[in-house]
Chains A and B, each alone.
Chain A
């Protein structure tokens, strides 16, 4: 595998983003009763953030040039 440094950095950035998203205090922001599109707020936030992370990783991996 080509050790494309820029791809690695993008993925590491996604990792850091995930660390922030899945941690206090951002979680606390959504940790309250309430619903969005009929889905509990926290549940919606976590799955949404999760899906976005996966999307970003897929983008970094599949669109790399090596």
Chain B
């Protein structure tokens, strides 16, 4: 049995759990081990977007407009795709400037204007307080319904409760206590409430589970799955109509305008700003929220339509309000535990929204409405007060209590009135007014304070006239005449058909006109004059936030003189003297100073103090307070522009320097490589010298020794003399050849060789070379076969040099040919773009490892220590140089035991690399 005390004690138990989580979260935060430093928790806490308006109201909307409940959740999904740019920028700006509320954000952007902060606060309070009432109403209604279990009674029929028996009053009081406890524990310079966020994330889980539980119960418990429900709906015309939207331009129009509206709401509802921006622990968390938060929305919406259809099938007479289906369906099926769980889910949706929204609003009311007034009120002598932190906290607490009280009063006054029931979208339309000033503020430096004030005022006024007042009229609080007849009887001024615009639903209509007025005034007034000094400075800081994240740059826009003795007490008055001491000491330590006394009161310190203060009392008031204790010299707009120019120049220079240093690095790398190459060449030259001298010494030694024999022993017989002299002559020839080749090589390498380039017929060259070596072949009885292509184009080359190459290849072939059955083949063929010559022998072949070394100077295959070298070791290197000079290639293909084929190509068109010629 669900008696009142059961429901109440379960509710209190639930709230007790919330308190415990929040307490635990705060304790962990104090210990420096944050529980909410987790992207999943961040994404869950963002689901504070889903209030009772989602939990109970989505089904109600679905029952009347079918799929029309979805745009409210599709919009945030789309917007999440842009968060990577937009939300990240807002978070970065807010962290750099210690922004604590949406009012503070707008006022900071437009030159720390107190007026603007106040205006935003008023819009937020007027737009949001009825929404808080709606939450109280939902909890109170669901409580009443549950109380009548197992009967199903609509609260509207039970009449208003007496004040002291009204559950909403107690809910409001408990929420006020919770919010005060965890929302204003201390004045944090960043205004973060970790325990509260942990509790909100938990609430998001509870409401999701509760809604999915009831959805699954209705879909699979009462009916047999989705198919069953939709099949049954098919036969009821009223339900069938819910499966599609009216096929008209207007319904698509309102579909899109609702999507657009919810895109703006997800950014600018004060509770969303509080959770997404102010309570953000680490901007990296945003990444996962971009997809996890839409996923949450998707899951919580899957069962909305089935519940709506199921409810309408279950209660066909319409006696049960569709807004209560979530609760009444389990009740009708006698599911006590589930009904109680649903009630708790609804409670969590309501409390989550109320707590965060109240904290956000109270911060705004305190910093942007009350403090500016109190600080100006000379009679209060606040400027003489030593410690104002207590006062600040009590203002916050009173503001929380006041906002909840306002919400409750509105709830009592409105009851079932349209002004309360329809407030969800009306509220969205109110906060959408912040969009132009904020989007403009973070992407457009030209927006001015006056522009923002004009835009917000105009948009807000149009919103009041086209949405709020008509909702009052429909609630019977105002005469309906002005809706029907227009203001003062002028039809053009009909609030819901302004200037005769028809065909739009009231939300789209109001959204269109208010946005037109808002953006129009914002842009037009902003363009009327140049932004002044402070606006330019703040505009740069906001728009270019990713360029100067350190926050150090804003101090560049300040000039004047200050005393640490003035600043410290000022901060102390608002934060408490100990916290101020700590903060200044931390600042001094960061600068490498031992104590506060050593601090210089320069622009940086003044800026630091102002930011500290902004965290506690808002940017605008902080500006006023700091200005009251320091002597400031106003900067001219030209100076500010100069500073900005300088800054951009400095950035340009630093980019140039980076560029140069990169170039320098590259050049250094090249130089290092060149140096390595030089060293290598030097080493090679030494090697070359020692090899050359070694090669020269061998023939010289034999010439000398045989000459000495001839000289010392005159009795040597003639035969031996002849023999010795022949050796001397042969060695001398070898010496000459060697020296010639070394000279040749040196000439080619140094580029001093003479080249007689002409059109050369390779046939001639080959024939001439073969003729010249024919005696070699016949001496060694080696067969020579030729395979020359017939029509070979002429190539551009030096004829004598080519013959030199051919002679070298042919004599090599002879040298290394098989001794008994020697066979050499010369082939001439024409390729695609080159003419190719192959000289093939059937000698022992060349191992793979040696195929490259044979082209190095003085390298011969075989063991030079034991076997007598068969050449100078310069023939192949020279040949390769020659072929490459004419743009060709010389290489060898061979495998041991199967002979070797030396091939070279020469380009057909004769266009060898001209650069080589020049070198």
Residues of A at the B interface (CB closer than 8 Å) are 1, 3, 7-8, 11-12, 14-15, 18-19, 22-24, 27-28, 31-33, 35, 37-43, 46-47, 50-51, 53-54, 57-58, 61-62, 64
Decide yes or no: A12 and B77 within 8 Å by CB, A43-B67, A54-B291 being known contacts: no
Q: Answer whether residue B383 sits at the interface, using C-beta atoms and an 8 A cutoff.
A: no
CA gap between A39 and B229 in the complex, in Å: 9
The residue of chain A having its C-beta at the shortest distance from the C-beta of B243 within the complex is A40
A27 x B298 contact (CB < 8 A):
no
Interchain residue pairs with CB less than 8 A apart (5)? A3-B546, A15-B79, A18-B78, A38-B225, A42-B243
Q: Which residues of A contact B81 (CB under 8 A)?
A: 11-12, 14-15, 18, 53, 57
> What's the Cα separation between A12 and B79 when bound, in Å?
9
Contacts of B78 in A (CB 8 A): 15, 18-19, 22, 53
- Main SS at interface, chain A: helix
What mask results when residues 223 to 239 of chain B are scored 1 for a CB within 8 Å of chain A, else 0?
00111001100000000
Chain B 210-250: CB-based contact to A (< 8 A → 1; otherwise 0): 00000000000000011100110000000010011101010
Whether A38 pairs with B291 at a CB distance below 8 angstroms is no
- Among the listed A8, A33, A39, which residue makes an inter-chain contact with B85, where contact means beta carbons less than 8 Å apart? A8
B689 at the interface (CB under 8 A from A): no
Q: Is the CB of A39 within 8 A of B226?
A: yes
Given A27-B245, A61-B291; A50-B74 close (CB under 8 Å): yes
* A27 to B807 Cα, complex, angstroms: 85
- Provide the residues of chain A in CB contact with B249, threshold 8 Å: 24
Question: Chain B contact residues (Cβ within 8 angstroms of A): what range?
Answer: 35 or more
By a CB distance below 8 angstroms, the chain B residues around A23 are 252, 255-256, 259
**Is there contact, CB below 8 Å, between A28 and B287?**
no
Contact A54 B84 (CB under 8 A): no
A11 to B390, CA, bound (A): 46
Q: Do the beta carbons of A58 and B291 come within 8 Å of each other?
A: yes
Does chain A have a CB within 8 A of B48? Answer: no
Q: Are B244 and A31 closer than 8 Å at their CB atoms?
A: yes
Q: Is the interface of B mostly helix, strand, loop or mixed?
A: helix
Contact of A12 among B82, B227, B231, B291 (CB under 8 A): B82
Using a CB–CB cutoff of 8 Å, the interface residues on chain B facing chain A are 67, 70-71, 74, 77-85, 88, 225-227, 230-231, 240, 243-245, 247, 249, 252, 255-256, 259, 283-284, 286-288, 290-291, 294-295, 298, 302, 305, 546
Q: Tell me the complex Cα distance, A6–B283, Å.
A: 18
- Quick one: given A39-B230, A47-B302, are A53 and B252 in contact (CB under 8 Å)? no
- Which of A37, A42, A47, A61 lies in contact with B245, CB distance below 8 A? A42
Q: Cβ of B226 and Cβ of A61 under 8 Å apart?
A: no
CA distance A22 to B67 in the complex (A): 12
Instruction: Give A15 to B283 CA distance when docked, in angstroms.
Output: 21
The answer to whether B256 touches A42 (Cβ under 8 A) is: no
List, in ascending order, chain B residues with CB within 8 A of A22's CB: 71, 74, 78, 259
Contact partner, B294, options A27, A53, A64, Cβ 8 Å = A53
How far does the alpha carbon of A39 sit from the alpha carbon of B302 in the complex, in Å? 12
Q: Is the CB of A1 within 8 A of B284?
A: yes
Are the CB atoms of A33 and B240 closer together than 8 Å? yes
Given the complex of chains A and B, what is the CA–CA distance between A47 and B298 in angstroms? 8
> B77, B85, B252, B290: which contacts A27 (Cβ < 8 A)?
B252
Cβ of A46 and Cβ of B294 under 8 Å apart?
Answer: no
What are the residues of chain B within 8 A of A50 when measuring CB–CB?
74, 77, 294, 298
Q: Which residue of A lies closest to B292 (CB)?
A: A58
Q: Which residues of A contact B546 (CB under 8 A)?
A: 3
**Complex Cα gap A43–B410 (Å):** 37
Q: How far is the CA of A14 from the CA of B305 in the complex (A)?
A: 26
Q: Which residues of A contact B67 (CB under 8 A)?
A: 42-43, 46
Q: How far is the CA of A42 from the CA of B546 in the complex (A)?
A: 42
A32 to B241, CA, bound (A): 10
B230's partner among A32, A40, A64 (CB-CB below 8 A) is A40
Residues of B within 8 A of A8 (CB): 84-85
Contact call B74/A18, Cβ cutoff below 8 A: yes
CB neighbours (8 Å) of A33 from chain B are 240, 243-244
**C-alpha spacing A19/B302, complex, angstroms:** 21
Nearest Cβ on chain A to B874's Cβ, whole angstroms: 56
6 smallest beta-carbon distances between A and B, as pairs = A38-B227, A15-B81, A40-B243, A24-B252, A58-B291, A57-B291
Q: How far is the CA of A35 from the CA of B240 in the complex (A)?
A: 11
Q: In whole Å, how far is B696's beta carbon from the nearest beta carbon of chain A?
A: 63
A42 and B287 alpha carbons, distance in the complex (Å)? 30
In the bound complex, do residue B80 and residue A57 qualify as a contact, i.e. CB atoms below 8 Å apart?
Answer: yes
Nearest B residue (CB) for A25: B252
Cα–Cα, bound, A61→B290 (Å): 8
Known: A42-B244, A46-B70, A47-B302. A18 touches B77 (CB 8 A): yes
Does the CB pair B295–A54 fall under 8 Å?
yes
**How far is B31's CA from A16's CA once the two chains are assembled, in angstroms?**
44
Q: How far is the CB of B262 from chain A (nearest CB, A)?
A: 11
Q: Report the nearest B residue to A37, measured CB to CB.
A: B227
In this complex, the member of B77, B225, B247, B252 whose beta carbon has the largest number of chain A beta carbons within 10 angstroms is B77
Chain A residue at minimum C-beta to C-beta distance from B83 = A11
B-side contacts of A28, CB under 8 Å: 247, 252
Cα–Cα, bound, A53→B80 (Å): 11
Chain A residue with the shortest CB-CB distance to B284: A1
Residues of A within 8 A of B245 (CB): 27, 31, 42
Contact between A54 and B74, CB atoms less than 8 A apart: no
A41: B residues at CB distance < 8 A: 243
Partner of B77, one of A7, A32, A53: A53
Instruction: Point out the residues of chain A lying under 8 angstroms from B283, CB to CB.
Output: 1
Beyond A50-B77, A61-B287, A61-B291, 20 additional contacts (C-beta under 8 Å) are A1-B283, A3-B88, A11-B81, A12-B81, A12-B82, A12-B84, A12-B85, A15-B79, A15-B81, A22-B74, A24-B249, A24-B256, A33-B243, A37-B227, A38-B231, A43-B243, A43-B305, A46-B70, A57-B80, A61-B290
How many Å lie between the Cα of A38 and that of B234 in the bound state?
11
**Chain B nearest CB, measured from A6 CB (Å):** 11
For residue A30, which residue of chain B has the nearest CB? B244
Residues from chain A with a CB closer than 8 A to the CB of B77 are 18, 50, 53-54
B290's contact among A11, A40, A51, by CB below 8 Å, is which? A11
How many Å from the CB of B312 to the closest CB on chain A?
15
- Whole-angstrom distance between the alpha carbons of A27 and B493 in the complex? 34
Chain A nearest CB from B44 CB (Å) reads: 16
Q: Given the complex of chains A and B, what is the CA–CA distance between A37 and B546 in angstroms?
A: 49
